[in-house]
Amino acid sequence: MIGIGSIVNAAAIVVGGCVGLASGKAINERIRDTLVSGMAVGTLFVGAASTFSKMLVIGDGGIVECRGALMLVMSLAIGAVAGEVVDFDGKLERFGVWLRRVSHNENDGSFLNGFVTATLTYCIGAMAILGALEDGLRGDPSLLYLKSAMDGIFTVALTASLGKGVIFSAIPILLYQGGITLAAYPLRHVMTTDALDAISLTGGVLIFCVGWNILWREKKIRVANLLPSLVVAIAWTLVKGGL
């Protein structure tokens, strides 16, 4: 069944969130704060590793070379302008506010933060895009199954720390990955190896920014408004023929 990978991924987030809510009641505030910090640091390193794994390569003579730096800077710059014009961050927050209202969680002060943080964490990255493409092109959801297991485990900890808003990130995950799966066939020529490397390189920076937002909440980066940089990075590889 085409799209089953995204459905399983969304279900894993819901199940993990329910487990997190149940266990969160037994965890005191000090443990929750440390848990949040630990997840934030882990997210920072995951993002950095994703970027450096594609940016740093071993050249002739065993010398470490840097590639894609110009692509990264230009993608983030152009993507930031496009994102601010469209204001994806504001739209995502308004969607979260609407979900909070229709789910009768108006008094939950952490709902919006949990929803936005989880949505960006689960949507950004090559695994979400590549897994959805594999599901659509080959009918192979195995990569999304792996992502589902990882997201489900992370959701337990994230929900225990940030509350039930995390669970509602299953909705944009289903729409986002499901949409890519449905559009996979027309996009088959666009998603080259270089394009996927560009997604990992640029997406790693965005994941790093998500970790930054979790750790330093008073200095927020509008990560959603940087999402167009992923499209710019793909376009760069098509025009330039590589990173």
pLDDT in tens, 58-103: 877 778 888 899 999 999 999 999 999 999 889 999 999 999 999 9
Q: What is the pLDDT of residue 145?
A: 92
Q: Enumerate residues 6+ apart whose C-beta is below 8 A from 64.
A: 56, 57, 58
pLDDT in tens, 104-141: 888 888 899 899 989 988 887 767 887 888 888 778 88
- The kind and range of the H/E element at 182 are helix 170-182
Q: What is the Cα 165 distance to its own chain's centre?
A: 16
- The kind and range of the H/E element at 65 are strand 64-66
Whether the predicted pLDDT of 189 surpasses 80: no
Burial profile 32-62: b = 16 or more Cβ within 10 angstroms, e = fewer: eeebbeebbeebbebbeebbeebbeeeeeee
Whether the predicted pLDDT of 188 surpasses 80: no
The percent of residues above 70 in pLDDT, for the chain, comes to 98
Q: Quick one: tokens of 60?
A: 């002739």
